[in-house]
Structure 1
């Protein structure tokens, strides 16, 4: 699926549940932060070696995939709500970073 298709699917899911009034930029940014926290929690007390091997543990791998999906979903919804083209924003940021941090 393309980014726009994912955003449309998420918007339809929210519409079907009447969640629109709750999907303000503030609430979506806060929810995104919460989900990032849940992702960080998986890695919190792991050594660097354990964190590099986290996907070898089926339970942890599932948890990582779920939290990454939650983070991605909220990021997509926030970008959609603010009418930000994420692909263009990332491309612009990469160009900016290349100028700021030359090789």
Structure 2
């Protein structure tokens, strides 16, 4: 049985295939598109205070959710093209971070 990530990845493959977009989905192009979408996400927070960024309206949250989805979808496509398991890569990175940044001793 496919996981949600595997199914979403397959759905992305199918979506691109029926539109004949595979020729445009090189790792370089997907990384570029990912960067653009991440910038669009950041744009929502430009000039916003820390406090306001923590207390968004429902409409703003929905807009940001759409940008987060764009980033996530391009990231999945890039990982698929490079045959990288995003869940395993994330777990490995978290382990590396835990080693690099140990919990400080109590004060």
Q: TM-score, normalised by structure 1?
A: 0.94
Rg: which structure is higher? 2
If each structure's helix is expressed as a fraction of its own residues, which one has the higher value?
Answer: 1
Q: Distance in 1 between matches of 2:84 and 2:75?
A: 10
> Which consecutive residues of structure 2, in runs of 5 or more, have no partner in the other structure?
none
Q: Which residue of 2 aligns with 1:44?
A: 46
- Paired residues, what number? 101
Q: Distance in 2 between matches of 1:97 and 1:31?
A: 27
> Which consecutive residues of structure 1, in runs of 5 or more, have no partner in the other structure?
none
The 3-state SS of whatever aligns with 1:5 is helix
Runs of 4+ in 1 over 3 A off after TM superposition: none
Bigger mean CA deviation after superposition, 1-10 or 71-80: 1-10
Report how far residue 74 of structure 1 moved: 0.2
Q: TM-score, normalised by structure 2?
A: 0.91
Report how far residue 58 of structure 1 moved: 2.8
After superposition, residues 58-97 of structure 1 pair within 5 angstroms as: 58-97=58-97
